[in-house]
Structures are given as C-alpha cells and as structure tokens.
Amino acid sequence: MTVTLTALELAECFRDGAYSPVESAEEALDAIERVDGRINAFCHVDREATLAEAGRSEERYRSGAPLGPLDGVPTSIKDIFYTRGVPTLRGSHLLADKPGATDPASWPDDAPVTSAVHEAGCVVIGKTTTPEFAWKGVTDNTLTGITRNPHDPALTPGGSSGGAASAVAAGLGQLALGTDGGGSVRIPAAFCAIVALKPTYGVIPMFPSSPFGTLAHAGPMTRTVSDAAAFMDALLRPDPRDWSAVPARATTPGPGGYLAAATEGTRGDRPLEGLRVAYSPTLGFGRNDADVEREVTRAVGVLSELGAHVDTADPGVTDPVDAFHVLWFAGLAAVLAPHGPDAIERVDPSMREALGRYHDYSAADYLDAVAVRMALGARMADFHQRYDILITPTTPIPAFDVGSDVPPGWHSPDWTSWTPYTYPFNMTQQPALSVPCGTTDSGLPVGLQVVGARFEDRLVVRVGAALEVALGRVVPTPRVHAGGAGGDDR
C-alpha cells in the first residue's frame, strides 16, 4: 500500500520497480474518494489529468530518465497558487462567481512553485482547501465548507493551509504545497502532526505577488523532515516574475542542499554537537496549555543528548501583534478592493467582522508598523549572534472545535490571539520549521517550532531531522487515514 510510505520511500519503490507511479496515483485518488468526505481536504480533483501525469512519470522511469528524486510522488497544491488549466478560486465566491471562473482556459499560467512541482515530475492529485484568501488560522469558508482534522474530525486542522495538512496527515498524498503569511503551514502542521517549513522569505519565489506582501511565504508540508527537505530542493527554482526572490546562486541546492542537511542531522550519536540553542517557552509574552508546554519541554531535553548546548532564554521582544494587524489587514483590504464596494458583504462573515475592527489605518500607521517590523528583525538578528537556534512551541494550544476562529470561551475573537509564536517570524522573514513532538493527555498532537536566523534554513532542517529521529514516533495514526490503521477510514 503506497499511501503509508513517505515520499522518499515511495520514489525508491518507483526506481526499484516495486510500485509504479500509476499504481500510486490510483491508490491516492481512490483514498481521496474513500475518506475525504470525512475531512474535506480537497476542493478540486481531476482523476483523468492526474493519471495522465502519472503515466508520463511511469514512462520516464521505464526509460531510465526520471526528472528527479521525487518524480511520480503524489502531491497536492493549496488553492492559492495559480495552476494552469485548473481554477484557483482561493475559497472565495468573489472569484468563483465570476463568469468563466471554472473554465480551464481562464487559468493559463502556473505560479513559480507550481511549475517547480511539474518540473520535478511530481504528480498533482488535486488542490486543497483554504479559508477565503488564506486570511485566518482555521480552514473554512462559504464556498467549500469546513475542513476537519484527521485526528478528530470534530476539531479544526488549523490554517490557513489546513486542507494541505489534513491531506498529508490522512495519507492523501505524500507532499503538499502551502502558504504561510502568519503561521499558515506551521499551525496546521502542529494540529495535524505533520512537518512544515516556512523558509526564509524569497528562497521560494512567489507570483503573483501576495497582497500580504513580504509576510507571505510558500513552503512544503510533509510527513517527515527528510521529505520536506527533498521537496525544498525541488522548489528552489528562481523566477524572474518575483523581483524580491533570492538570487539563484543562493538557492541552488548542490552538495549543500536541504536533503543533505537533513541527512547530516541524523548522522552519529551527537549530530548537533556544539550548537547553541535557546528554548523560549513563551517568547516572553505568550501563555501555554500545560500539556503543550510539557511536551515541548520534554522534547527540548533531547537536544542536549544530541550535543547541543541548551539555555532557557527569551529573545527580549514584545508581542508585535498590533503591528502585524496593521500589515495583515491592510493587505486583506487590498484583496477585496478590486471586487467593488460591495465585496465586504459577500465574504466570510468573520472576515467582515475582523475588517470592521481593523480597518481604520492611516499611511502613518502602516509606516509605524513597518518600523516595528524592522526593529523586531534587528533584535532577532542580534539574538542569533548568541544562539544558532531558537525553540518554541508552534502553538500554545492544541486543536479546538471546528466552526469558530478561536477556541470556545476564548478571550479574543482574533486568530492571532492563539498563534503568538508564528506570525513574529513572518515579520522577521526567518526560517521556521514545525515538527511533531508529542501529544496532550487527550491524545491531540503537539508541535515544536525550530527557528533560525535568516538564510539558515538548512541548519533549521538539520535540527528538525535530528529531533525527529531522536524522538521517534510520538503521535498515533489519525482516526481518519487512507491506510485504515487509524481505525476509521470510512
């Protein structure tokens, strides 16, 4: 059964002839038909197109010319990225209700990352759900409905890349491509017990440019750190359409690629020898669920055994949420502007309410927020002169009930109020990786966040890989899973 294999394991099976890309694609598509009704991770699946892609991959293997180490691996793409011939509706009636919106001819272009997925030979099995315009930390909208967590379908998978996380966790494809403007790959990774990397801004080119500006990143979502690393190596394809992308010489994989870094993190008994690590349970301003903090603290203890020197230390920053709100909601207002003055009446009600709270910003407010962002980045750069790596919980709480942007009885209506450890690193553009590290007493996944200085992405991957191996399997198979091992694949 291919759905239970990692991406690298599956690709090795393709090379050995144990499985074919067509067999794998058929299993993934059958699994989507069988279990996605429980979690609603996909908003678009084209069986015929997927099998045609898989057939081309199979021919490449037969001729001894696969396009790369991930050729043939089932992959999903978040419905934020342009995909040639496939509607990109971004969870919004504002786009879906336009004439011709579902006509393949209306979508002639691939985003840079979508092109990279195809160039790597990955087989696209569908597009995954997103909250409207990827605006919040849970995944629901009035166009495609509520996306649910495979570990417990009564709970949210997080967001905004919740469809991608649910798909990977449920065995519906080994690789997923997500976006992250305030935690959107890391939050659902923590809630669904998968791995996700928000790389340094500009390492993966973005086009069209996001209305959220340089807060918005693309990143891989996978079952293992090694899979995320291999996917990163495939995604490093500079594109001239993104003027802010890092130059090709800084992103070319070569001998120092991401997969090599992950491999280095699993070599020997003390692969992190001499590394300076700061553990900040709260960043100095958060508050954690007791089970979450217990599991993250336990996992941090393993770092010393791997050779790292670990201190408990806060970076000395204050919560930048007010500045983040200015940047975020200014971007969200820009999303709606082209759709006319009545657009606000046709969007997610919670988006409308949030824009009602955060709409009265001036140019001076925006510039002040930029100044806060710059100061935060400078403070973190100084902190990383003393520490190579910062560890935090990915989120201070585990997954909560679907149908709301915040947990029941929460003190704030804002999704940012329960994601204090993710959005600061969108502001500073630093690489941040979420890896599973344990479960709460009720069995819900807990994620640990590994943060590095800008452009130290490979070091972050190395630390994540070392932790993953040292911790072993820390989360049980989800209740809803294509392999059935979770006990509920109906």
Return the active site residues: 78, 160, 184
Given a contact cutoff of 8 angstroms between Cβ atoms, the answer to whether 283 and 421 are in contact is yes
Any idea what DSSP says for residue 182?
A: S
Rounded-to-integer distance, Cα 424 and Cα 430, Å: 9
Q: Provide DSSP, 422-483.
A: THHHHHTT--EEEEEEEE-TTS-EEEEEEEESTT-HHHHHHHHHHHHHHH---SPPPSS-TT
**Angle CA 250–255–257, to nearest 5:** 55
**Alpha-carbon dihedral angle through residues 155, 158, 161, 164, given to the nearest 10 degrees:** -40
Which DSSP helix (H) or strand (E) runs through 178? strand 175-180
Given a contact cutoff of 8 angstroms between Cβ atoms, the answer to whether 405 and 411 are in contact is no
Q: C-alpha distances in angstroms, 381 versus 365, 429, 453, 480? A: 24, 11, 7, 42
Given a contact cutoff of 8 angstroms between Cβ atoms, the answer to whether 27 and 2 are in contact is yes
- Give me 243's structure tokens: 């003027």
355 phi and psi angles, rounded to 5 deg: -65, -25
Alpha helices in 213-286 (DSSP H): 225-235, 248-251, 258-264
Given a contact cutoff of 8 angstroms between Cβ atoms, the answer to whether 15 and 159 are in contact is no
Burial-class residue 270 by CB neighbours within 10 Å (0-12, 13-18, 19+): middle
Residue 251 makes CB contacts below 8 A (sequence gap 6+) with 203, 236, 238, 245
- Give me 169's structure tokens: 């966790």
- The residue among 134, 141, 165, 123 whose CA lies nearest residue 7 is 123
- The residue among 69, 2, 429 whose CA lies nearest residue 260 is 69
Rounded-to-integer distance, Cα 91 and Cα 96, Å: 8
Q: C-alpha distances in angstroms, 334 versus 211, 286, 343, 355? A: 6, 30, 11, 11
**Angle CA 64–70–75, to nearest 5:** 130
Given a contact cutoff of 8 angstroms between Cβ atoms, the answer to whether 228 and 197 are in contact is yes
Given a contact cutoff of 8 angstroms between Cβ atoms, the answer to whether 188 and 139 are in contact is yes
